[in-house]
Amino acid sequence: MPEITVTLPDGSTKSVPEGSTVLDVAASIGARLAAAAVAGRVDDALVDVAHVVPDGSSVAIVTENSPEGLHILRHSTAHVMAEAVKDLFPTAEFGIGPAIEDGFYYDFQVDRPFTPDDLAAIETRMREIVAEAVSFKRGELDRLEAWDRFEGQDMKRELIDGLPEDETISIYTQGNFTDLCRGPHVPDTSRIRAFKLTKIAGAYWRGDSTRPMLQRIYGTAWYSEKELEEYLTRIEEAEKRDHRKIGKELDLFSFHEEAGAGLPLYHPKGARVLRLLQQWLRGVLYERGYVEVITPHIFKSDVWKISGHYENYRENMYFFEVDEGDGKTSEYGIKPMNCPGHLMIYADSMKSYRDLPIRMSEFGTVYRHEMSGVVHGLMRARSFTQDDAHIFCTPEQVHAEVLGMLDLVAYVNGVFGFEYSAEVSTRPEKSIGGDEYWKMATDALFAALDAKGVPYEINEGDGAFYGPKIDIKLKDAIGRTWQTSTIQVDYNMPQRFGLTYRTPENGEAQPIMLHRTILGSMERFFGILIEHYAGAFPTWLAPVQVVVIPISDRHLDYAHDVRAKLEKRGVRVEVYSDNEPMRIKIAKAQQQKTPYMLVVGDKEAESGQVGVRERTQGDLGARTIDELVAMVKEGDPLAS
């Protein structure tokens, strides 16, 4: 039989019989690889293991333990769920069923909303389908055949109509279910070993609120029961740590429908935590040569046109008309970013190369028009404050300044004990500036990350419209990742605002602008900290560090005396003066995650001491005020 040659990922070549499939190539390499294969990548296109490889092609095997393999498993599980729904609800119409992070979903139009009992029945039917080891078979249709195949499925026909005329229309069939799908899929349903349907939700077709409301079923799938159990445990723990739930319990913030979605109102304790974060970070920035500025929340639209936001970011902004008198009106935009204000401050006076770099910082509140469906507590709000900064520097200073920002990222995350990695986002389709500027900016980010040894991935086409960026992604206490810091190199904004500096040769040159946040959105970072610590903030950040608990009313005077002494030493204190049993007061302080509880009675009043309880260690015995203050201040970055 004639043979063909394929190239493997390591650059080596392999000869296999003509007509060989991806699975055949895997088997020729090794039996274990073939057993783990779920798909292939042929000439960089994902394909099924049954795909015949052409002569001269490059072939990579996608296995179960790869991110791509997990994505394919979840997509295949969505198809099995759809088949189960078709069996149990024969009149159902089908929307889309993609794999998503940690799972999958499928949208259905059914006669009535699904119930938890329906979910259990669907899952049972899925297990039956999985046990049958049914193969996923790919087919190709022309447009007319596809239209006929999906008779009675209006949503599928709409998807067909939206495909380019020259695109191959592919379908996948397993059992009695056929779906419009690009694939690939696992070889057969027996590869779906561990899954769970997790919830039911409503979802508009194509995300359009004017279209029909569909029933969406979410689920998760893994290649082993152990991975599934670990994931379900993480989800259970995440629900306990939900910042919205804890925020209410600890009286940190609230949202009000009448105020509008995504607009948090901070209560005294929540405001205290945010101000402590800002106070600490402000001191860190002053030590690193930053100067602080304050800019307005609104500017005339002229500013946003110069910056490029009007053209490239308008759909995310709020605009309104202002009566300027004499029958004249002007359009204003509420700021979604702080950059233009900093650019105008720079432009207010001539700068010399000796003045650079200028590191301009601001805790600036911005507003973005997020769709109500994506607003999520503090994690995705319409109003939020950024620990924003813009560095104006010479081209020769860019590398050192980006290194300095990465040092700041390392220091800040070290304070909270976060591990992190990076992602570099490159030029998006909708952008401003020339290719040369974009290449220099992107290369500068890669060079800095390489120099610091920070691991990173590349996210093609997801940069800001004015420049590429580094996004820092940290890992929390239960293994979730969050995007916080961002670093951007911008050759475009200084040019649009006409910024210059005097060179050593007494000429004029354009500065480079570096955008950066470290915590990012203060709201988002606050939410991350709440969930990371499950509300039990480190002592230096706790809104109340110490609760004084008098044993009886006759000990109130001493309790207030203790409070006064501690407050003079910078400790945040409350006295529980309600006429309640001591055990109730202790339980209340524990529920509020207060780091220290001071029990005071006759013995403490006579000795001038306090009985100390720590929230996790319990009773620590009697301590003097000085000893207690030292305990509270230990490890406090604000005290150093």
Neighbour tally for 46: CB within 10 Å: 17
Which residues, in sequence order, are bridge partners of residue 469?
Answer: 425, 488
* Beta bridge partners of residue 482, listed in sequence order: 474
Coil vs helix vs strand at 61? strand
Integer Cα distance of 393 and 22 in angstroms: 53
The dihedral region occupied by 427, where left means phi > 0, alpha psi between -120 and 50, and beta the remainder, is beta
Structure letter (DSSP) for residue 609: -
Q: Which residues are catalytic?
A: 339, 368, 386, 388, 390, 469, 515
For residue 280, what is the enclosing H or E element? helix 268-287
What's the rounded Cα separation, in Å, for the pair 620 and 623? 8
Using CA atoms, how far apart are residues 248 and 537, in angstroms rounded to an integer?
Answer: 15
150 three-class SS: coil
User: What single DSSP character describes residue 135?
Assistant: B
How many other CB atoms are found less than 10 A from the CB of residue 430? Answer: 11
Phi-psi region of 553 (alpha: psi -120 to 50; beta: other; left: phi over 0): alpha
Non-local (6+) Cβ contacts of 49 within 8 A are: 21, 22, 23, 26, 37, 38, 39, 40, 184, 187
Instruction: Retrieve residue 323's tokens.
Output: 């009566």
Supply the DSSP string of 417-485, one letter for each residue. T-EEEEEEE---SS--S-HHHHHHHHHHHHHHHHHHT--EEEETT-SBTTB-EEEEEEE-TTS-EEEEE
Token look-up 């740590």 returns 241
Residue 352 tokens, joined: 């010399």
Give alpha helix (H) positions in 136-242.
143-149, 154-161, 225-240
Largest CA distance in the chain: 100
